[in-house]
Structure 1
Amino acid sequence: MAARKSQAVLAISAIFLLLVHGAHSFYLAGVTPQDFLKGYRLKVKVNTLTSTKTQLPYSYYSLPYCQPERIIDSIENLGEVLRGDRIKNSPYVFRMREPQMCNIVCRITPNAKIVKEFKEKIDDEYRVNMILDNLPLVVPIQRLYQKARTVYRLGFHVGLKGHYAGSKEEKYFIHNHLAFTVKYHKDLQTGTSRIVGFEVKPFSVKHEYEGKWNDPKTRLTTCDPHSKHSVLNSNSPQEVAEKQEIVFTYDVEFQESDVKWASRWDAYLRMSDDQIHWFSIVKSLVNVLFLSCVVAMIMLRTLYRDISKYNELGTQEEAQEETGWKLVHGDVFRAPINSELLCVYVGTGVQLFGMILVTMIFAVLGFLSPSNRGGLMTTMLLLFVFMGLFAGYASVRLYKTFQGTEWMKIAYGTAVMFPATVSAIFIALNTLIWGQNSSGAVPFGTMLTLVYLWLGISVPLVFVGGYVGFRKPALEDPVKTNKVPREIPEQTWYKNPVFSILIGGILPFGAVFNELFFILTSIWLNQFYYIFGFLFLVFIILIITCAEITIVLCYFQLCSEDYLWWWRSYLTSGSSALYLFLYATFYFFTRLEITKLVSVLLYFGYMLIASYAFFIVTGTIGFYACFWFTRLIYSS
C-alpha cells in the first residue's frame, strides 16, 4: 500500500512538473546531447519582436526576414503563450566550434509596404529575440564607469535612424549583418563542450557583390570571409528604402569560457543598468520591521493594562462606568452589512494568498528560474485553480459564523466574482491586442483552456471546499450579542472611517515600495527578475505590517465605542492597493516612454488587475488579524 501511494505521489509530481515547465523544458532548445561535440549542428530559434515603447509583441516573421524552407512552431507551455512568446525555427544554423564568416542568408527587395513596416518597427524601437540552447540572445554593452562589468540587453534592435554623410534628411537603416559569439565550456574529463553564452553585435552594411546573384554562392565584395571582422571592407550602412536590395549575412565565432553550464544564467540575470540598492532595501525593511515591533509592544502593553484594570473591578456597576472597548462587547460580533460579499472577498483572498505563498516557496527553492520561460505564470495559474478548495472552505466557514444557511450561494460567488472580473478586463485588452495584429493576443484555443481550468476544475473545487466548511460546526462568539444595536457616539475627524482607512494603507505599501520598482521594471522593461529570496522576505514583512496596523486601528476604533470593525479591518490594509496603483501611474510617467493609446490602456488595464488582486490579498490578511484579535481580547 505504501509503495502504491509513493508511486501515485511521483506520478502527480511528474504531471505537475510537465504542466509547469512545458514539454520544451525536457530537452535543450534545438540541441541534442550529441550537439555538444564538435561539428554538430546548432539550430537558432527566433522569438517575438518586442518593444518597451508599445508593449505589443509581434511574430518574428511579421517582418520579411529570411525564412527557412519550412517554418516550425515550437511546443510552448501555457505561461509562454500568455506572455506572447512565439518560438519558431530560423535559417541560422551553426556547427559546434566551427567559426563561420560572411555567411549569406538571403536577400530581399522591399516594396513600399515592407519599407513602411520596417520604419514603424524602428521608430518603436523593436528588438529581435533569438534563442540557442534555451539561452536568449543578448547584446553586450560595456559600462564606461565599470570596465570590468558588462551589461547585457535582450535582443538587438531591428535598425536605427539618423543622419548619414552630412544628409539633413533623417534616414532609416536596418541591422542586416549579425556577428554572433557562442561561448562554450569544455569539460576536461569528458572532452565535451556545452554552450554557456549567446551574444551578438548587429551591423548595418550595404553589401555589394560581383556578377549575378547566385544565392549563398555569391561573392560579396563588401565581405571578407578570411578576416576576423568580415564587414570591415564596407563603411556604408544599409538604408531602408524602396527597391534597395538588402542582403542578410552573419558571422559565428566560438569562444571558450570558464563559466560552467550550471552557472550560465548568472550573467544574464544582471541585465539592468540600475544597480540593485541592497542597502536601501535592507534599510527600508529594517525600518518597517522595527516600527512594527514598536507598535506591537505598545499594543500589548496598553491592552494588558486595560484587561488588568477591567478584571480588578469588583461590581457590575463599576464595570458599567468603564468606557472604551469593553462597553461594545454586546455588539462587536454582530454580523456586518453585506456580510455575504465580505465572505466572498475573504475566500478569494485566501485563494490568492495561498497561490502567492506557494509560488514564492517554489521560486525560492529554485524551481521557477528565468530559464524556464513561462514557468512562473503557469505555476500561478495552476495554483490559483487548485487553491479554490481553500477559498470555498474559508468563505463558507465565515458565512456559517454569521448564521448563514445558503452556502452554495456563497461558494458560487467565491468561484465566479474575481475570475469573472479579471476575465472581463482581460478579454477587453485581448481584443485591443487582436486589433493591432500582435502575437501577444491569446489564441482562441488557449482561451478555451483557461475557461476549462476555471469552470472545470476551480469552480468544482470551490464547491467541495464550501461543502466541507459548511459541515463544520459554526465558531462560537466569546460573548453574546445584544438584540438591540448600541448607538455609536459621534467620532472625531481623525477617527473618521475614510481617514483611518487611507492612513492604514500607507505602512503596508511602504513595506513593498522598494521592491515594487524592480518588479515593474522586470515586467515592463523586459528584464529578468530573480531575487525571489528577497521578495519572499518582503512578503513576510508585508503580512506582519498588514496584521499589526489593522489590529492597532481596530483597537482605537473599539476604544471609541465603534463596533463596526468587520469591513473596516478589510479596507484598512486593503487600501494599500490604492497607493500601489498611484505608484504605478507615477512609474508610467517617469520611467516608460509609451505613447500609443492601446499600449496605455494595456498598461493601466493590467496594473488595475494587479492592484485589485493586491487589495484582496492585503485586505484578507488584515481581516483575519483583526478577527483573531477581537476574539482573543473578548475571550479574556
Structure 2
Amino acid sequence: MQLRRSAPALLLAPLASAFYLPGVAPTSYKKDDLVPLTVNTIKPAAGPDGPLRSVVSYDYYTPEFGFCKPADGPKDVSESLGSILFGDRIKTSPFELKMKHNETCKTLCKHAYSGASAAFVNEGIRNGVSLNWMVDGLPAGQRAIDQVTGNPYYNPGFFVGQETPEGKTEFNNHYDIFIEYHEVSGDPDHLRVVGVLVEPYSRHYTGAVTAESCQRPPPPITLDEAAGTEVTFTYSVYWLPSSTTWATRMDPYFYPYSANIQWFSLINSAIVVIFLVLTVASVLVRALRKDIARYNRLDQINLDDLSGTSALEDGVQEDSGWKLVHGDVFRTPSHPLLLSIFLGNGAQIFVMAGFTLCFALLGFLSPSNRGALGTIMIILYTFLGIIGGYTSARVYKAMQGEKWKLNIALTPLFVPGIVFSTFFLLNLFLWARGSSGAVPFTTMLVIILIWFVISVPLSFAGSWLGFRAPAVEPPVRTNQIPRQIPPPTTYLKPIPSMLLVGILPFGAIFVELHFVMNSLWSNRIYYMFGFLFLCYGLMIMTSAAVTVLMVYFLLCSENYNWQWRSFLAAGTCGGYIFLNALIYWVSNLSLSSLTGHVLYIGYSLLISFLFFILTGSIGYFSSWWFVQKIYKSIKID
C-alpha cells in the first residue's frame, strides 16, 4: 500500500517519522484500561453491488433508530470546524471496551420499536445507511475486496441491516468487535489500538441471552411495521495482537485505487500537456518572431525614399493581424467591475488550493485527524482575503474602473456570498429532513463571524494596498474610437472556442476527478494527494497554454475583446466538471428522495462554480501576460 503513494511523500517519510503532528499523537493503554468507543453519524453508503441510494445522514441517537444510549446520556465529543462542515457528529456510547479483555455476547439494552419506527429503520436499510464507530479515533470497518483490482481493504462503517433476495429487511442487533493492538517495543504497559473490524449480525433472541446464544446461528430478526418489535442489542469483543505499527494503522482503510490506472492517466495527461505546451510555444515563437521582425522593419522604412515606395506598399499590405488592434487591445472590457471581482476571488482560490495540496502532500493533513482538510481550507481562504482584495484592486485600476468603493466592498462579499447562500439553502433541505448532516445554526454564526471579522477586513486591506500601488501601464496607447471587429470564423466564435478550450484542462483531471467523486459520495477515504497535486499542475499548464493560443488566433482575426473571452473559455472547464457530475449522477447513483437529488445537484453546481472562477482566472492572467509581452516587443509610432 505504501508503494502506491507519490514519490515526494516517500522521500519525506523519514523526516516525518521523527514526530507526531498536532492532534494525532498516539494514546497508549495498559491492560484493562477503558478504550473509548465513540459513535458518528449514520451515513448512507453504496453497497458492493449497488449504487448509492441516499445522501441524507442522521444522528446516531435519532429516536427512530432506537440505538442504546449511555446511562448518563450521550455527550458530544469536540470536533474541528472542518469536521462539522463535512457532517461529523461524534458522541459517546454505552460500549465498554477494556484493553485485552474479551467479552462474549454482552447485553447492551432492549428497545421496543413501534410500527412507525420499524418502517423508518426498514427504509434506511433499503437505502443502505451504515453505522460509523470509532475506537481510539480509528474508524471501525469491515473487510472488503475491490471488485476491479481484487485488493483487500477495510471499508469504514457497516450497514444497519441488509435486504434479502425475497425483499425482507434484516436488522443487525449484534456486533462482533475485533480490535487489533500493538505492543510498543514489546512493553505490555504500552498498548496501542491499530485496527478495528466489526461484523454485524441479525439475531432474534427468544429467551435469556447467554454466551451460547452467540455461538449458534439463531434466526434473523425483522422489524414488524404493523405490530412493532422488541429488540435486544448485544456485542462481543475480541482483542487480537498485531504487528502493525501505530503510524501505519490507517493504511488498510485507504481504498485501493488502481495505481496503474492513475499512473497511466497521469503520464498520458503529462505527455499531452508537454506536446501542447511545446506546440503552442513553437507556433507562437515562430509566428511572433516573424511578425515582430516584419512590423519593426516596416517602421524603419524611409518615407522620403521613392525607391522604397513599392516596399512600403507591400509592407502595408502585409501589415495585418494582431498589430492592427494595438490601439484597442487594452481597451476597458465590458463589466470591468464583475471581471475584477471574479479575478480577485480566483487568485485567492488558486493560492488556497496550492497551499492545501502542498500541506496534504507533505503529510500535514493526516486522514486520522478528522476534518483537518476542511479546516485548513477555511483558514487559508480566510487569511488569503488580502490576496483577493489586492488582485481585484490592481486589475480594476488597470482597467480604469471608477467605482473603486464598490470594488472594495464586493470583492469579499459577492462570490463568498453566492457560495454561502447556496450552502445555506441546501442546509435548509437537511434541516427539513432532520438530518444530522445539517450544519448547526451556531456553526453558521461562527462562519459568518470569521468571514466578517477576519476575511473582509483583510480583503479591504489588500484592496487599499492595490489601489495605492501604481496602475499597470499598457505598453501601447488606446485609441479613442474603437475599431470595427470583422466577422469571426466558426471556431473563433464564443461558444465553439469556449467548448474547445475548456475540454483540454478537464481532460487533464478527468480520471483523478472520478476518484475524488467516489470518495466524496461513497464514504471512502481519499489519500492520493500526490496524484492530485500533479493533476493540479497539469491543469494549470493546460489552461494557460490553450487559452494563450486562442487569444493569439483571436487577435490575428482582429478581435481585441480577449479579456472576457479568455476568462470564459478557460472557465468552461467548470462546465465540463458539472456535466461529468450529471453523468455520475445518472450512472452511479440511484437516489430515492427529492432532497438527495437537490443536494447532489446543488453541491455539484457549487463545486463547478468555484472551478469556473479558478480556471477562468488562470486563463485570464496567462493571456494578460502574453498580450503584455507581445505588444512590448514591437515599435508603435
| Unaligned residue ranges in structure 2 (runs of 5+) | 1-19, 46-52, 304-311
Aligned to 2:16: none
Aligned to 1:518: 515
Aligned to 2:192: 194
Query: Quick one: structure 1 residues 208 and 370, their matched pair in 2 at CA, closer, same or farther if it must change by over 3 Å?
Result: same
Q: In structure 2, how many angstroms separate the alpha carbons of the residues matched to 1:44 and 1:189? A: 25
Q: In structure 2, how many angstroms separate the alpha carbons of the residues matched to 1:535 and 1:326? A: 40
Q: In structure 1, how many angstroms separate the alpha carbons of the residues matched to 2:113 and 2:487? A: 76
Q: In structure 1, how many angstroms separate the alpha carbons of the residues matched to 2:598 and 2:260? A: 29
User: Which of structures 1 and 2 has the larger relative contact order (alpha carbons within 8 angstroms, sep 6+)?
Assistant: 2
SS of match in other structure, 1:248? strand
Contact 1:176/1:247 (<8 A) preserved: yes
Kindly state the Cα deviation for residue 527 of structure 1 after the two structures are TM-superposed.
0.7
Aligned to 2:80: 77
The equivalent position to 1:259 in structure 2, one of 203, 221, 244, is 244
Q: In structure 2, how many angstroms separate the alpha carbons of the residues matched to 1:500 and 1:57? A: 42
- Give CA deviations for 1:136-166 in whole Å, capped at 9, x if unaligned: 010112568988x423222111112226xxx
Aligned to 2:361: 364
1:282 is the counterpart of 2:266: yes
1:136 is the counterpart of 2:136: no
Query: Quick one: structure 1 residues 245 and 275, their matched pair in 2 at CA, closer, same or farther if it must change by over 3 Å?
Result: farther
SS of match in other structure, 1:197? strand
Contact 1:320/1:327 (<8 A) preserved: no
SS of match in other structure, 1:60? coil
1:482 is the counterpart of 2:479: yes
Aligned to 2:155: 153
Aligned to 2:104: 101
The one-letter amino acid of 1:96's match is M
The equivalent position to 2:280 in structure 1, one of 280, 291, 295, is 295
1:253-402 matched pairs, under 5 angstroms: 253-270=238-255, 277-292=261-276, 293-313=278-298, 314-315=300-301, 317=312, 320-321=316-317, 322-402=319-399
| Higher mean C-alpha deviation, range 61-70 or range 231-240 | 231-240
Kindly state the Cα deviation for residue 57 of structure 1 after the two structures are TM-superposed.
1.0
Contact 2:24/2:369 (<8 A) preserved: no
The one-letter amino acid of 2:152's match is T
SS of match in other structure, 2:197? strand
Q: In structure 1, how many angstroms separate the alpha carbons of the residues matched to 2:175 and 2:292? A: 75
Query: Quick one: structure 1 residues 146 and 302, their matched pair in 2 at CA, closer, same or farther if it must change by over 3 Å?
Result: closer
Query: Quick one: structure 1 residues 78 and 145, their matched pair in 2 at CA, closer, same or farther if it must change by over 3 Å?
Result: closer
Kindly state the Cα deviation for residue 245 of structure 1 after the two structures are TM-superposed.
2.7
Kindly state the Cα deviation for residue 330 of structure 1 after the two structures are TM-superposed.
1.0
1:200-599 matched pairs, under 5 angstroms: 200-210=198-208, 219-220=209-210, 223-224=211-212, 231-241=214-224, 242-270=227-255, 277-292=261-276, 293-313=278-298, 314-315=300-301, 317=312, 320-321=316-317, 322-599=319-596
1:47 is the counterpart of 2:40: yes
SS of match in other structure, 1:202? strand
Contact 1:271/1:528 (<8 A) preserved: no
Query: Quick one: structure 1 residues 437 and 27, their matched pair in 2 at CA, closer, same or farther if it must change by over 3 Å?
Result: farther
Query: Quick one: structure 1 residues 179 and 426, their matched pair in 2 at CA, closer, same or farther if it must change by over 3 Å?
Result: same
- Give CA deviations for 1:505-540 in whole Å, capped at 9, x if unaligned: 111111111111011111111111111111111111
Contact 2:262/2:512 (<8 A) preserved: no
| Higher mean C-alpha deviation, range 313-322 or range 369-378 | 313-322
Query: Quick one: structure 1 residues 566 and 233, their matched pair in 2 at CA, closer, same or farther if it must change by over 3 Å?
Result: same
Aligned-residue CA RMSD (Å): 2.0
Contact 2:21/2:364 (<8 A) preserved: no
Q: In structure 2, how many angstroms separate the alpha carbons of the residues matched to 1:362 and 1:604? A: 30
Q: In structure 2, how many angstroms separate the alpha carbons of the residues matched to 1:368 and 1:275? A: 21
Q: In structure 2, how many angstroms separate the alpha carbons of the residues matched to 1:257 and 1:144? A: 27
Query: Quick one: structure 1 residues 591 and 280, their matched pair in 2 at CA, closer, same or farther if it must change by over 3 Å?
Result: farther
The one-letter amino acid of 1:311's match is N
| Unaligned residue ranges in structure 1 (runs of 5+) | 1-20, 211-218, 225-229
Kindly state the Cα deviation for residue 93 of structure 1 after the two structures are TM-superposed.
1.2
Q: In structure 2, how many angstroms separate the alpha carbons of the residues matched to 1:145 and 1:452? A: 46
SS of match in other structure, 2:558? coil
Kindly state the Cα deviation for residue 592 of structure 1 after the two structures are TM-superposed.
1.5
Kindly state the Cα deviation for residue 405 of structure 1 after the two structures are TM-superposed.
4.1
Q: In structure 2, how many angstroms separate the alpha carbons of the residues matched to 1:144 and 1:296? A: 44
Q: In structure 2, how many angstroms separate the alpha carbons of the residues matched to 1:463 and 1:320? A: 49
| Higher mean C-alpha deviation, range 38-47 or range 400-409 | 400-409
Aligned to 1:215: none
Contact 2:118/2:228 (<8 A) preserved: no
Contact 1:152/1:271 (<8 A) preserved: no
Kindly state the Cα deviation for residue 22 of structure 1 after the two structures are TM-superposed.
12
TM-score w.r.t. the length of structure 1 is 0.89
SS of match in other structure, 2:397? helix
Query: Quick one: structure 1 residues 530 and 174, their matched pair in 2 at CA, closer, same or farther if it must change by over 3 Å?
Result: same
The equivalent position to 1:633 in structure 2, one of 625, 630, 633, is 630
SS of match in other structure, 1:359? helix
Contact 2:262/2:531 (<8 A) preserved: no
Contact 2:155/2:255 (<8 A) preserved: no
Contact 1:345/1:616 (<8 A) preserved: yes
- Give CA deviations for 1:282-335 in whole Å, capped at 9, x if unaligned: 233223323323232222222222222323334275654311111111111111
Q: In structure 2, how many angstroms separate the alpha carbons of the residues matched to 1:46 and 1:618? A: 40
Q: In structure 1, how many angstroms separate the alpha carbons of the residues matched to 2:398 and 2:246? A: 56
- Give CA deviations for 1:205-258 in whole Å, capped at 9, x if unaligned: 112324xxxxxxxx53xx42xxxxx62313311121244331111111111111
Aligned to 1:86: 89
The one-letter amino acid of 1:71's match is P
Query: Quick one: structure 1 residues 301 and 380, their matched pair in 2 at CA, closer, same or farther if it must change by over 3 Å?
Result: same
1:610 is the counterpart of 2:618: no
Identity fraction in percent: 38
The one-letter amino acid of 1:121's match is G
Kindly state the Cα deviation for residue 613 of structure 1 after the two structures are TM-superposed.
0.4
Say how many residue pairs are matched: 588
Q: In structure 2, how many angstroms separate the alpha carbons of the residues matched to 1:145 and 1:278? A: 14
SS of match in other structure, 2:178? strand
SS of match in other structure, 2:625? helix
The one-letter amino acid of 1:252's match is V
The one-letter amino acid of 1:595's match is S
- Give CA deviations for 1:47-91 in whole Å, capped at 9, x if unaligned: 000014211110111111111112111011111111111111111
